[in-house]
Amino acid sequence: MKTFDLFDRPANWATAANAFRDDFERDDRIQVAPWGGYAILGYGELLELARNPAVDGMAPDPQAMANTPHVYTLLARALFTKAGPEHRAERSATIAAFNGVDIPMIVAEAAADTLPATAADLDVMSGIVRPMVRDIWARVIGYNDDEAAKLETAVEHLGYVLSSAPDAAEADRADAAAQRVRELSLAVVERGSAFADVLRQKLDRNLAADLIAGMAFDALETSSVGIMASLRIAARNADRLQPTAKCADECLRLASPTPFTMRQTTSAVRAGDVEFPSGTTLSMVWAAGNHDPSTFAAPATFDPDRERLRPLSFGAGPHACLGLGIMRASLQHLLAFMVERRPMIKGELLGWYPFNPAGPEPLTISV
């Protein structure tokens, strides 16, 4: 069986399809992960395993995070690292909290408040994407404007956690930021909001604050990166854009802003001819599944009318990202803006940059 070597290759590719083309041509759909366990690349294998209740969340390693105890606590208590009955109960409560909020109205209002009537070389990330994402999630959860600004700064400092090559000098700042995110989230729970009140009714006060803190950290960064990556795809295909869920999904599929996440088996499971014993670490390479030619014909091609096979942009199954609907709705408003206003977007539109901390150069927009 081949050993997964994506990290040993050049950092950037023309497309994600190029990055995984040789793997699929050789039918290397499941590979040995050099850090332990297996890397899952095939769409069918990913979907089968993601839907298997014996493939569950994976908690962070306390020894590896001994120097950042507040970061460890933030991640360990977040929904996306939980497993078993605990995860199911907390996920159910979080879904109920989302159902108590008028998300379409919130996204529409945030888009109307953020999208510019006129602009000259406005930075897309700092001038549109981050403010819109911050506004949406502040309204969903119940942060006030001051708390939302502090949360955004704290999440920026927590970038240390997401780096493939973290700078040890940033550890203390990241740990303080994790503590700040928790404090801001507890303030919302104690003050009350439509979202927080549902969580507090179903869970205790501290657990509600933990879940909100973990979700806020994940949501602000993941949404901003995902929307920005998708807008590069959209700008590259401006003449074919449609303000539809299909088109938004196609942008997210090609961008694959969350390249992979980790899962762990809680009992023996099988995918294809491979059996994974209980306790096996699985690296779920969603970006590969999104470019599997056996599922997506011509996977490098932008097709806004592609049959709506579910892209794996943010996982699948019981651990799929609960914020995907918010991100898709946000992206649809941005696509509508691009279709209606025909803005001029300048900057690097080519390339797939999943593991490059700096990423491509910024985009600017003029309307």
Classify 313 as helix, strand or coil: strand
User: What are the structure tokens assigned to 215, written together?
Assistant: 């979700």
Nearest to 200 by CA among 212, 215, 214, 184: 212
Residue 176 has pLDDT above 60, yes or no: yes
pTM value is 0.93
What is the rounded CA–CA span in Å between residue 189 and residue 195?
9
Q: What pLDDT, on the 0 to 100 scale, is given for residue 310?
A: 83
What is the rounded CA–CA span in Å between residue 366 and residue 122?
6
pLDDT digits (tens, 9 = 90+) for 234-263: 999 999 999 999 999 999 999 988 889 999
Report residue 165's pLDDT band, with 50, 70 and 90 as the boundaries: low
Residue 43 has pLDDT above 80, yes or no: yes
pLDDT digits (tens, 9 = 90+) for 269-328: 999 889 999 999 999 999 999 999 999 999 999 999 998 678 898 889 999 999 999 999
CA distances from 118 to 122, 126, 227 (A): 10, 16, 21
H/E element, 67:
none
What mean pLDDT do residues 87-109 have? 96
What is the rounded CA–CA span in Å between residue 126 and residue 364?
10
Q: What pLDDT, on the 0 to 100 scale, is given for residue 355?
A: 63
Q: What pLDDT, on the 0 to 100 scale, is given for residue 119?
A: 96
Report residue 359's pLDDT band, with 50, 70 and 90 as the boundaries: low
Return left, alpha or beta for 172; rule: phi > 0 is left, psi -120 to 50 is alpha, else beta. Answer: alpha
Round the average pLDDT of the chain to a whole number and report it. Answer: 92
Residue 354 has pLDDT above 70, yes or no: no
| 6-366: CATH number | 1.10.630.10
For residue 83, the tally of other CB atoms under 10 A from its CB is 17
What mean pLDDT do residues 47-74 have? 92
Q: What pLDDT, on the 0 to 100 scale, is given for residue 360?
A: 77
